[in-house]
Chains A and B, each alone.
Chain A
Amino acid sequence: MGEPYSTTRTITGIRLVELLAPALGQDAALQAVRHACRLVGCSESELQREEAMKVLETVAEQPGLVGITGRFAKSRLLLQWK
C-alpha cells in the first residue's frame, strides 16, 4: 500500500482505487473514484485529506456493494491517516 498516509499531506486517486479494488475489482473501483472526483470537483491526481474523505463519502452514498465498500474504505483510511 506504499508509505503510511499519516506521513503524507496528500493522496492520489490511485490510492483510493486501491482501497476499493479488493471488493469491487480494479475497473469498477476506478470508475467509482473518477465519478466521485467529478462530483466533488477535485483532481484525481492529488487530493488533500478532506478531499479524499469527501470522495469516499460520495462513493459511500452509492447503493449496494459500492456504497458499503466506500464506507468501509473511508473507515480504514481514517485509521491510517490520522
Chain B
Amino acid sequence: MPTHIATALAPRIEAALDTLVLRLARRPPELVLAFASPAHPLAAVLEAVGERFPGARVMGASSAGEFSERAEAKGAISLFALAGDFQIETGIGEGLSADPEAAVRAALGNTPRAGDHPCETVILLLDPLTGRGEEATLLAASLLGPDVPLAGGAAGDDLAMASCLVGLPGRTLSDAVVIARIRSRRPLGLGVAHGHVPLAGPYRVTRAEGSVIYELDGKPAFEVWADATQADARTRGMDPRSLEPEQLGSFLLQYEAGLATGNDFKVRAPLSRNDDGSLNFACGVAQGAQLHVMQGRPEAQITSARRAAARARENLQDSVAGALVFDCICRNLILGESFKEALSQISAELGDAPLAGFETYGEIALTAGDLSGFHNTTSVVLAFPR
C-alpha cells in the first residue's frame, strides 16, 4: 500500500479538518498530528481530530507558529496525516520535570515490534519549560536502543513562555511528553541542520543547576548576555537592557547559546530570565561547560533548512511521500517573511512533497551514530517513503 500524506493549515480546526479530509481522498489515516497555537485549546483540537478520524492515532502539541508546504501562519492549526502501511502506537507520560525516566517509560509503553514491520521511528513531543529536553531524548534513546531514530519537537506557546502543552485525545498536559512509535516496512529519512555561528564568548558556566544557568564567568548570566549582544541587537532594533517583557523571549531566541562539542556547536535555547539575572534553558546545561553567544543570519537559515531536507532525503534512499518538519521559532524570528522561502526550499528538496509542522522551542533528532538528540535553532525533517 503506497504511503499518502495529507497536510492542512487553517485558522479554525473545522476548516483544517475539512481540508485534510479532501486531501486524504478517502484514504484512512493511521496517524494524525495536530499543532495548534494557544489561541486554540489543544484539548478541543485533539478531540475534534479524534472524532473526525476515529480509526487513527492522534497526538499533538501547542506551538509558536504553524505551517504546511503552502504557507506559514500564526494563531492557526496545522495538521499532518499519514496513511499507508504503518503500525502506530501513541502514549503520554506526565511529571517530566520530577521524574523524566518514568514519564518517558510511560509514554513509550511496551508494545513489541511486529516482524512484518521491522523498522521503527519514534516521534517525541514534549514540554520544554520542564528543562528536560535532552534528558528525555537520551532516556528514550537508551530505552529503545540504537536502531530506532528519534524525531520531534518541543511544544511552544506563541513566545509567552508560560504553558506548553502536549496531548492525546482526552488527555492534554503540561510537564509531559507524548510519543508516537511508527513501525514501517522501510526506514524513514531524518535530517537536521542549523545555521548559527558564534557572536561572542566563550564563557564558562560557573554556576548552574538543572536547566538554570545562574552565572557565567562569575557574573549573572543575563548580564553577560546583554553585554555580548548589545551592539548586534541594536542593529536589529533591540536594547537588551530595556526590553519589554513581551520582547524578552524573542530576544533570547535570537541570541542562543552554543555549546562547544568538539568540531561544532550544539545550540541551546535560553527561554526566559529570572529576577536574579539567571536564565532558564530548554534542557540541562552542565556546570563547567563553555558557552558562546550565537547568532544566525537569514541566508544561513535558508541554506541550513535545505541542508536538513537533503540529509533526510539521502537517508530515506527512496522517493518522498511527504515530511514532518520541526523548525525552531528562532529561525522564524530571524527570517521574518523569508521563512516561507525556507519552507519552499525544504519542499523543493523533497520533490515538492507535502509537509507540515510547527515552530518549536527545541527540536529532537537522533540517529544511530548520534550521541545527543535535543537541538535548538535547527530544522528537523522527517521524510516518509512513498
A interface list, Cβ under 8 A from B: 1, 18-28, 31-32, 64-66, 68-69, 71-73, 75-76, 79
Contact = CB atoms under 8 A, between A and B. Distances in A.
Interface stretch (B5-13, B214-222, B283-291, B329-337): B283-291
A28 to B, nearest CB: 4
Given A64-B210, A65-B134, A68-B139, A22 B371 contact: yes
A24 B286 contact: yes
Contacts of B289: 24-25, 27-28
Given A27-B204, A65-B283, A72 B142 contact: yes
A23 B138 contact: yes
B261 interface: yes
Most buried by A among B146, B205, B288, B291: B288
Interface of B: 100, 134-135, 138-139, 141-142, 146, 204-205, 210, 259-262, 266, 283-291, 369-372, 374
Contact of B262 (A18, A32, A72, A75): A18
Contact of A25 (B135, B139, B286): B286
A18 B283 CA distance: 20
Contacts of A18: 262, 371
A68 B135 contact: yes
Contacts of A72: 138-139, 141-142, 371
A15 B247 CA distance: 42
A64 B370 contact: no
23 contacts: A18-B371, A21-B262, A23-B266, A24-B259, A24-B286, A25-B266, A25-B289, A25-B291, A26-B260, A26-B262, A27-B204, A28-B205, A28-B286, A28-B289, A64-B284, A65-B135, A65-B285, A66-B286, A68-B135, A71-B142, A72-B142, A76-B146, A79-B146
Nearest to A66: B286
A19 B262 CA distance: 11
A15 to B, nearest CB: 12
A11 to B, nearest CB: 15
Given A24-B286, A68-B100, 17 more contacts: A1-B369, A21-B261, A22-B261, A22-B262, A22-B372, A25-B286, A26-B290, A28-B286, A31-B288, A68-B134, A68-B138, A71-B138, A71-B142, A72-B141, A72-B371, A73-B371, A79-B146
A20 B262 CA distance: 11
Contacts of A65: 134-135, 210, 283-286
A18 B100 CA distance: 24
Nearest to A70: B138
B365 to A, nearest CB: 12
A75 B205 CA distance: 28
B371 A64 contact: no
Contact of B261 (A1, A25, A73, A76): A25
B136 to A, nearest CB: 9
B290 A23 contact: no
Contacts of B135: 64-65, 68
B215 to A, nearest CB: 15
Contacts of A21: 261-262, 371
A73 B266 CA distance: 17
Nearest to A63: B210
Contacts of A27: 204, 260, 288-290
A47 B371 CA distance: 21
Nearest to B257: A25
B11 to A, nearest CB: 39
Contacts of A23: 134, 138, 266, 371-372, 374
A76 B371 contact: yes
Nearest to B140: A72
A55 to B, nearest CB: 16
The 4 nearest A-B residue pairs measured at CB: A65-B284, A22-B372, A28-B286, A25-B289
A47 B369 CA distance: 22
Nearest to A1: B369
A25 B139 CA distance: 18
Nearest to A72: B138
Most buried by A among B139, B204, B284, B370: B284
Nearest to B204: A27
